[in-house]
Chain A
Amino acid sequence: MGAARNTDAAAAAEGDVLVVENLVVETTGRNPVRIIDDVSLTVAPGETVCLVGESGSGKSVTSLATMGLLPKGALAARSGRILVEGEDVLSARPSRLRQMRATRMSMIFQEPMTALNPVLSVEAQLDEVLSAHGSMNAADRRSRIREILSLVHLPDVERMCGSFPHQLSGGQRQRVMIAMALVLEPKLLIADEPTTALDVTTQKQILKLIAEIQERLGTSVLFITHDMGVVADIADRVYVMRHGKLVESGRIDTILTKPERDYTRDLLTAVPALSPRAARRATSKETVLETSELGMVYGRASLFRKREGTVAAEKVDLRLTRGRTLGIVGESGSGKSTVARCVMRLIDPTSGSIRLRGQEIAGLSRSALRPWRKRIQMIFQDPNRSLNPRLTVGDSITEGPINYGTPKSEARERARQLLQLVGLPADAIDRHPHQFSGGQRQRIAIARALAMEPDVLVADEAVSALDVSVQAQVLDLLDDIQKRLGVALLFITHDLRVAAQICDDVAVMQRGKVVEYGPTAEVLGNPQQAYTRELIEAAPGRHWDFPNFRPMPGAEAPLQNSPGG
């Protein structure tokens, strides 16, 4: 990307913006655990280096160590060197370290909402970088702030300056973060999953912005990500990390076409293909869930305030048959979660109808709804938060059936069977959620939902918080369960790759409306609507056929930064 030199690590001994040598990071305390084990990497001027790995691989710790930001009293570098433009970060005094930050190396983070201070205006947050590091007078700072905000293409710069983070969109916030990181033109930008929390179309714009600024200012970028698609789109070179160790490194085309290590191969093959799965034959014609003209308007005029309501869903018609999977895809704010919550009757729709096995449930009272509740169950995005940490796994799973009158012993027996069904040992029943990994917890959440013997499972971004390898396993599990139990799945996701792999039918939502709806192969294979095409085009790495280690057939210029570029 940009003025990349495409140097190999060995050849780039001098002049590198960042050199990490044999870095070892351990937890502090009596029994230190090694978090980073002998990691070395380099970043050349103008180069984009991707640090790839799953959660717990140590990629974020490496980046924090480079900023000198390891959490005090929890983690400490034990040996090694981190040279930024030749100066060792690890041995720098705190005051010198503060000077280096923002002037030599800067960092942007995953979640731009929480990374910006909610109570300070954009201008105040930019201004303090300039005040802390320089002798610029107030007028120069003012004009520099406006200059950098227009450099990151923020509209109406003057208004932006006076705005607070909560008034900006996710993409605008990340632009402000980038402006803040680059206002003093540091040579090294560390980007820790900067687009993971953003929609695909926004992600595409932010990646483009980083590339553009990099070209203009000659900044080197160390880009931390778990997303192979993003890697394929932006990297010059790649380092793959696992369990705190470096697994493999090399130029992007080498890594993608000829990975040497099994782990790298696994990572690449786990990336779900963007091409839709082969259509399955319908096993049943029975409609289990149907919505028609479903609508949800938030915050209509109250006694005190006259306000136009926010239309979160409008005239949504969906139909789901037994044993099938219907996906709802769309960006944040498209209304896909609103539809899921309406269908669950977690919120009350303002218009339209919802029929569960023929029974109209949109207008049922709480008590009339009760027998229907067990027919439809939900799996949430974050299994760390959807399971009550104080309850044992068994209690979580049996709570629902017991509430509906199943004797306790029977419910526990059923829970054991379900745990086996989702691939967990039966003795998991007496343990607590924190004793399991994220993927295992999501399996527990699935078992909990199945315990009610529902006709419909609603999965709201149920694999989005999981690593790709775990994601693939959970998707397989859902598929398997569906075959065995014939449950229908309503699958809400922002990830077209996931939708392509699991859904029979797909509804694309935008601003509360279904813009395209049909069999997955047709909608994703031959999109009719501009918005659907836009979404597909924004999917990172779409020119690359990861599981087969080759560019997509017919794709031109698979890598923007092909050799010599």
Chain B
Amino acid sequence: MLGAAPTDFIAARQFFMLAYIARRILASVPVLVVVALFVFLLLRLTPGDPAAILAGDMATPEQLERIRESLGLNEPLASQFLTWIGQLLSGDFGRSLISHTPVLTLIGQRLEPTLSLAIVTMLITLLLSIPMGVVAAWRHGSLTDNAVMAMSVLGFSIPVFVTGYILIQIFAIDLRLFPVQGFKSIGSGVGPFLSRIVLPAFTLATIYIALIARMTRAAMLEVLDEDYVRTARAKGLSERVVLFRHALRNAAVPILTVVGTGFALMISGVVVTESVFNIPGLGRLTVDAILARDYPVIQALILLTSGIYVVINLLIDISYAFMDPRIRY
């Protein structure tokens, strides 16, 4: 690269980046196929029969058999799998065994609450945890540092539903600042949306704030010992510039990794928060579907989650390149 002008360098980088993204997307296809196969087989192997649940306690064996027949559950596993994959490829995720609603419609209804919760949670987390971690590392060993570390241990150890109920008690019941529970779409106004999402988001954020503040602190501590931080100080730059421009950007890669995986985990880990705050999201849909052995819904949900993992991982890897010019693809 040395011989090239900077513009060539950037152009070459963009080319490698695009090629890299294309490779990664192609590589994710087999991942999703394997996930699909595993989900399908595991579900069939777990005890429980959707037909029995549909038919109720009073059903005769003949009725059960008819229901199984109509749902296609009597077909050999291989042909069931192929049928399902074939439908998937044509964009058809099937219908719920229980409510007969198309799976995509079911998920579509539940996607917004969960995504809203995840995004607001992540925003709160980033706004609080990164400055906390940076300051803790900067004032290493001080009272501030100890306070941040103590809060981080608390954040880890208090279960989400406890935090949730405490926050409801204080802010919704005693202070009457927010509604106790429920969800309003952002389409119905920012005010109602925010007033209902803040408490659950903050509840869910506690654990991620603890995690990411700790991570930021550790990464910053390592970087603050580096020579270029000393150089930055020797240039007479202010501490703010030294910390955020010179140190944080170099500490960014491990932090980004945790932020990304944290976000992906959040999508599938919102069940408790959704239950506490009575939010009609994906978490509750998943629980209901599992209890009812609603195969098409469960399969689609798990595929969706793995898809989100794949996309987020790709985004993290691409973001590394923006943080660090040494990374090549």
Give chain A's interface residues, CB within 8 Å of chain B. 67, 69, 73, 97-103, 106-107, 109, 111, 114-121, 128-129, 132-133, 158-159, 161-164, 166-168, 177, 180-181
Contact = CB atoms under 8 A, between A and B. Distances in A.
29 contacts: A69-B233, A73-B140, A98-B236, A98-B237, A99-B236, A101-B233, A101-B236, A102-B235, A102-B236, A109-B227, A109-B230, A115-B230, A115-B231, A116-B228, A117-B232, A117-B246, A118-B326, A119-B323, A121-B325, A128-B237, A129-B235, A129-B237, A132-B241, A159-B6, A162-B5, A162-B7, A167-B1, A177-B231, A181-B234
Contacts of A177: 231
A106 B233 CA distance: 10
A545 to B, nearest CB: 36
Contacts of B227: 109, 111, 114-115
B2 interface: yes
A101 B326 contact: no
9 closest residue pairs by CB, A with B: A162-B6, A101-B236, A114-B227, A117-B228, A98-B236, A115-B227, A102-B236, A164-B325, A107-B234
A166 B325 CA distance: 9
Contacts of B231: 107, 109, 115-117, 177, 180
Interface in B138-186: 140-141
A103 B235 CA distance: 9
B6 A119 contact: no
A219 to B, nearest CB: 16
A92 to B, nearest CB: 12
A503 to B, nearest CB: 34
B68 interface: no
A159 B5 contact: yes
Contacts of B232: 117
A118 B237 contact: no
A6 to B, nearest CB: 29
Interface string B1-39: 110011101000000000000000000000000000000
A431 B18 CA distance: 54
A278 B236 CA distance: 53
A128 B1 CA distance: 25
B238 interface: yes
Give the interface centre of A97, A109, A119, A181 by most chain B CB atoms within 10 Å.
A119
A232 B78 CA distance: 84
B250 A69 contact: no
A133 B235 CA distance: 9
Contacts of A107: 231, 234
Interface in B215-255: 226-228, 230-238, 241, 245-246, 249-250
Contact of A118 (B140, B141, B230, B324): B324
A180 B250 contact: no
B235 A115 contact: no
Nearest to B7: A162
A119 B245 CA distance: 10
A71 to B, nearest CB: 9
A120 B245 CA distance: 9
Contacts of A128: 235, 237, 241, 245
Nearest to A130: B235
Nearest to B233: A69
A18 to B, nearest CB: 15
B324 to A, nearest CB: 5
B238 A132 contact: yes
B228 A114 contact: yes
A102 B241 CA distance: 16
A129 B232 CA distance: 9
A75 to B, nearest CB: 13
Contact of A180 (B6, B235, B324): B235
Contacts of B238: 98, 132
Given A114-B227, A129-B237, 12 more contacts: A69-B230, A97-B236, A109-B231, A114-B228, A117-B232, A117-B246, A119-B324, A120-B249, A128-B237, A129-B235, A132-B236, A166-B325
B145 to A, nearest CB: 11
A98 B7 CA distance: 35
B308 to A, nearest CB: 28
Given A118-B326, A119-B325, A162-B9, A132 B235 contact: yes
B328 to A, nearest CB: 10
**Quick one: which of B6, B234, B246, B324 has the most chain A CB within 10 A?**
B234
A192 to B, nearest CB: 10
A106 B238 CA distance: 16
A177 B326 CA distance: 19
A482 to B, nearest CB: 38
A119 B235 contact: no
Given A129-B235, A132-B235, A118 B228 contact: yes
A90 B250 CA distance: 30
A107 B2 CA distance: 27
Contacts of A106: 234
Contact of A163 (B6, B245, B250): B6
Given A162-B6, A180-B235, A115 B228 contact: yes
A116 B232 CA distance: 9
Tell which of A102, A167, A168 has the most Cβ of chain B within 10 Å: A167
Interface in B295-329: 323-326
A101 B6 contact: no
A114 B293 CA distance: 58
Contact of B141 (A67, A69, A73, A133): A73
Contacts of A161: 6
A271 B323 CA distance: 45
Contacts of A166: 325-326
A115 B230 CA distance: 8
A339 to B, nearest CB: 25
Nearest to A68: B233
A119 B236 contact: no
B313 to A, nearest CB: 20
Contacts of A164: 325-326
A118 B231 CA distance: 12
Contacts of A116: 228, 231
A128 B232 CA distance: 9
A67 B6 contact: no
Nearest to A124: B245
A167 B236 contact: no
A114 B226 contact: yes
B234 A69 contact: yes
Contacts of B233: 69, 101
Nearest to A162: B6
A166 B7 CA distance: 17
Contacts of A102: 234-236
Given A109-B230, A114-B227, A115-B227, A103 B246 contact: no
Contact of A100 (B9, B236, B323, B324): B236
Contacts of A159: 5-6
Nearest to A64: B230
A167 B2 contact: yes
Interface string B107-144: 00000000000000000000000000000000011000
Nearest to B323: A119
Nearest to A126: B235
A238 B182 CA distance: 77
Contact of A133 (B9, B236, B323): B236
A132 B6 CA distance: 26
B210 to A, nearest CB: 25
A366 to B, nearest CB: 30
A112 to B, nearest CB: 9
A333 B295 CA distance: 61
A109 B227 CA distance: 8
Contact of A101 (B1, B234, B249, B325): B234
A132 to B, nearest CB: 5
B195 to A, nearest CB: 40
B236 A117 contact: no
Nearest to A180: B235
